[in-house]
Homo-oligomer: A and B are copies of this chain.
Amino acid sequence: MTVTKWNVRAGAYYDSVVLMQLQRGLLELSGVVDAGVVMATQANRDLLAANNLLPDSISANPDDLLIVVKAEAEDSAIEAIGKVDELLARRKSSAVSQDFRPRSLSSAVKQLPEANWVLISVPGRYAAGVAREALDLGKHVFLYSDNVSLEDEIALKKTAREKGLLVMGPDCGTAIINGIGLGFANRVRRGAIGLVGASGTGTQAVTAQIHNMGAGVSHAIGTGGRDLKSDIGAITAHQALDLLAHDDETKVIVLVSKPPSPDVATQLISAAQSTGKPVVIYFIGYPPPARKIGNLHFAISLSEAAEIAVNSNWELVSGNKLPITNYYLRGLFSGGTLAYETMVGLQATLSPLYSNSAISDSQILSDPLHSQAHTIIDLGDEFFMVGRLHPMIDNDLRIRRMKQEASDPEVGMILLDVVLGEGSHADPASELAPVIKEIIEERAGKLEIVAIVIGTDDDPQNLQSQVDQLKEAGVTVFRTATEAVEYISLRFGSHTPSEYSPVNLEQLKQPLAAINVGLESFYESLTLQGAQAVHVEWRPPASGNDKLAALLEKMKNKK
């Protein structure tokens, strides 16, 4: 038989290190079998219950501290609970002398004026306020805290962008700036590979492997996991890409994130293209559009991202044609799979993209007979097929649609597949080429036709003659969808220059000096790495009493 005793402390703020140490202290007491020290949120109460540490009929609010002790006998349990204050006090006295420690961000800045960074790891509900203060003081922010609202994140990042400052986070676990790790970071040698990471352990895995392979890291810039969602629009990732593009030490860039929102992905990929540097992209769980599109390389694992970056030795060929901007692509396919594979490839760079053979619901073309924006049509879809021969046999449907698309002045490129072999039309190019020639002449210089020709030299149509007829009509011919996808992605790739203040690169190159607000271990880690740092002895407004804090704020504003 064991006995469980508990203690509830209403609405006071405790550092999570203090809570951990209190729990450990209780566990060391004689007769104590188990102990739990948590903020009494539903999740934490459920966790206690799962460990048989939640007494029946306990009453506590989510911002109350809940201390539970399970002991072999009643007196041990009571004794343990009685020692809580003593244990909390012991923790305090064992800490470094706090006399020299500032209690506010502004006084910390006076103590270390050269600080260019503020690390924030206070509880989520206070974190945005501290970050705002840091930005007002002209500092970059590393925001480790989670449970920060989306609204706060948007506001902070917009403010930062206007000031040419970075907000890495919220929920940013990892960064390496100028050789110094912030938050959780592996020790890696300095080198030519720069990272933009929307994921903490992703950045750790890649940087560690780069080091283990003998290469090194210039900077690893964290963005926080939500940065690449539509609401935020990848503000930090765009700043970071721009920064690394202009940093001479960075020769290769790695971009790691969970799958971004489609519109954000397109913009980021476009920005990555215009860095002009090799960029390795790994969107975890997102089908890679290709192995390679110009200067972009797509990886399928963290490990592969590191390998590609380290072994990057790419010749970068810059396009010799002006990109097709403000025009749309219309793909008219006879092969469903070729249409689908092309969609998978182009959805990363062309947005918005629609299809009657859509990959995601947002891509569904409402009327298969009328294209909109970039469109890929599978003309062999059942919808078109009632009583009609397949478009690989009968070219009528495709020729009509091709004329329809060409008459749309917004269309800059038409993509076709021409599938040869048994069963297909005996000479498709003879029917397609004259129409293509006519269309290209009519739209003088404003319309490009690209074709993917699938076939072998044994096919009954004469592969070479098919290719020749198409080329003679002005068609750019590829033999695989992969090659066509790379070509089209580069043709539509556009450089959209940033309209915001760039982040100050010179400041980034200064030795890192930082002010730490929150977890003391992050401060210790900074000093161990040789960085100048100051730790703020932070306490929430009114010691975490929200009502009192609101009252104080009101009085302050009245002055």
Chain A residues with a Cβ under 8 A of chain B:
14, 16-17, 19-20, 23, 38-39, 41, 43-44, 46-47, 50-51, 62, 65, 123, 146-147, 171, 173, 181, 183-189, 199-205, 208-209, 211-212, 225, 256, 258, 284-288, 290-291, 298, 300-304, 334-338, 340-341, 343-345, 359, 368-370, 380, 382-390, 392-394, 396-397, 400, 404, 417, 419-424, 454-460, 479-483, 519, 521-522, 525, 528-529
Contacts and interface: CB of A to CB of B under 8 A. Distances in A.
Contacts of A421: 181, 184-187, 204, 208
Given A302-B480, A423-B525, A44 B386 contact: yes
A23 B457 CA distance: 32
B393 A202 contact: no
Given A186-B456, A208-B454, A423-B525, A39 B386 contact: yes
A38 B304 contact: no
A39 B396 CA distance: 15
B456 A16 contact: no
Contacts of A16: 387-389
21 contacts: A38-B388, A41-B387, A43-B383, A181-B422, A183-B423, A186-B459, A187-B460, A188-B456, A201-B334, A201-B454, A202-B338, A204-B454, A205-B337, A205-B338, A225-B336, A285-B287, A285-B344, A291-B304, A302-B480, A302-B481, A304-B482
B290 A287 contact: no
Contacts of A173: 380, 390
Contact of A199 (B336, B344, B392, B519): B336
Contacts of A286: 287
List the number of copies, as a whole number: 2
7 closest pairs, A vs B, by CB?
A201-B335, A39-B387, A199-B337, A202-B337, A186-B421, A187-B458, A184-B423
Contact of A394 (B20, B62, B334): B20
Contacts of A38: 387-388
Contacts of A482: 301-304
Contact of A46 (B285, B369, B519): B369
A201 B386 contact: no
Q: Give the most central of A38, A185, A286, A419: most B CB within 10 Å.
A: A419
A461 to B, nearest CB: 10
Contacts of A14: 387
A343 to B, nearest CB: 8
Contacts of A419: 184, 201, 204
Nearest to A170: B382
Contact of A205 (B19, B386, B459, B480): B480
A197 B258 CA distance: 30
A521 B424 CA distance: 9
B387 A303 contact: no
Given A201-B454, A288-B300, A338-B201, A400 B146 contact: no
A331 B304 CA distance: 22
Nearest to A301: B482
Contacts of A199: 336-337, 340
B209 A480 contact: yes
A300 B304 contact: no
Contacts of A225: 336
A186 B420 contact: yes
A111 to B, nearest CB: 23
Contacts of A457: 212
A533 to B, nearest CB: 12
Nearest to A290: B301
A141 to B, nearest CB: 17
Given A185-B422, A205-B481, A200 B337 contact: yes
B340 A284 contact: yes
A528 B461 CA distance: 13
A522 B421 CA distance: 12
Contacts of A390: 173, 184
Nearest to A385: B146
A288 to B, nearest CB: 5
A336 B480 CA distance: 37
Nearest to A344: B285
A522 B423 contact: yes
B302 A340 contact: no
Contact of A456 (B46, B187, B341): B187
A383 B384 CA distance: 49
Contacts of A291: 300-301, 304
Given A146-B385, A302-B337, 17 more contacts: A43-B383, A46-B369, A47-B397, A173-B380, A185-B421, A186-B455, A186-B456, A201-B419, A205-B338, A212-B456, A258-B337, A285-B341, A285-B359, A290-B301, A300-B300, A303-B481, A423-B525
